[in-house]
Amino acid sequence: MDFALTEEQIAIFDMAYAFGQEQIAPFAREWEAAGTIPKTLWPEVGALGFAGLYVPETSGGAGLGRLDATLVFEALSMACPSVAAFLSIHNMCAKMIDSFGSDEMKARVMPDVLTMQTVLSYCLTEPGSGSDAAALRTKAERTNEGYILNGTKAFISGGGYSDAYVCMVRTGEDGPKGVSTVLVEDGTDGLSFGALEDKMGWRSQPTAQVQFDNCNISSANLVGEEGQGFKYAMMGLDGGRLNIAACSLGAAQTALNSTLLYMGERKAFGQPIDQFQGLQFRLADMEIELQAARTFLRQAAWKLDQGAPDATKFCAMAKKFVTEAGSKVVDQCLQLHGGYGYLADYGIEKLVRDLRVHQILEGTNEIMRVIVARDMLKNR
């Protein structure tokens, strides 16, 4: 078994890392304070091919595998996990439209999606349905021209900021078979947004409810077939779980790198604190944890690329393990910085806040355990 990255994969990581350090890291705190990411950033991201990472080259995308994509998100999250995670959402939506949208929709929408002139948000969660996503209630009633939407989506990254919204709505019976996917463009009559949420982390991402009040859309904005929307939504989640794990990994690596430098400079009792064996053990434990997490994540991504029958189980396990490892590491890094770790100037407290939500979204870590346990019981 070869664990080495190819030269092309190393080049992908290096390109994403360099872009993140030059174009994102210096402004991460400023964007967090402003509560938004400048829209001027996204066309620059699109120019690198990062707006359609796993959209095939024949459709104008980068045509990368899921393992390649995790390298991009790991590298970008070393600059800011909030920005990197927002790009993951856009990519998930872009893949859904390219995979299931009509030729007319793709011709109309995808060119601007791939340059990020159009920024996409993913709308599944509702105020009354999170983990039980198939219980969503946002209604799409058929009209002669298309659909009338009524309902509310909650916790939407990019709510009121994005240019279009990939929405899961109910066109039929209760349960997953009654769910369809539609594209709702900003400015559509009946589309509105709640107040911006005041969040613990991911503060540079504008987050708000997306509201539909007799919102009229054309039948041309149906993505794929009626009744298949829940399947489309779930198909994107395996890759999304890997990406969010990669964001935890990259951010934790940055925290550890910063901590190593700090411990070499900070003195106590007449010597640098990196000379105390008890603290060296902590460093070693964090390195072991991150290397194990990286190996697990890449194995899961490889399985998804190969279409392995247990890929979903491994994506769930990797998401659970890596996001928890990342949070544990950044928390330890804050502790090793002492009081300075609690100050915004050192950047560690931001990572603690940003990574906490990774255990909740893309399926809570409790749901990841359910997925794994069900697979174990099915195959015993």
**Which residues are known to be catalytic?**
362
| CA dist list (Å): 374 to 187, 258, 308 | 43, 40, 17
- For 60, other C-beta atoms within 10 Å of its C-beta total 18
Q: Residue 215, CB half-sphere, CA atoms under 13 Å: how many?
A: 26
Return phi, psi of residue 176, to 5°.
-65, -30
Residues recorded for the chain: 380
Cβ neighbors of 268 (< 8 A, separation 6 or more) are: 276
Query: What would you report as the CA-atom Rg of the chain, rounded to the nearest whole angstrom?
Result: 21
End-to-end CA distance of the chain: 26
Antiparallel, parallel or unpaired: β 271-272 and 267-268:
antiparallel
Half-sphere exposure of 227 (CA within 13 A, CB side): 3
DSSP letters, 277-346, are: HHHHHHHHHHHHHHHHHHHHHHHHHHHHHHT-TTHHHHHHHHHHHHHHHHHHHHHHHHHHTGGGGGSGGG
**Alpha helix (H) residue ranges in 116-218:** none
Q: E strands within the chain?
A: 120-123, 139-142, 146-157, 164-170, 179-185, 191-193, 207-218, 222-223, 267-268, 271-272
Please report, as a single letter, which amino acid is at residue 119. V
As given in the structure block, the two tokens for residue 123 are: 């709308």
Strand 164-170 to 179-185 pairing: antiparallel
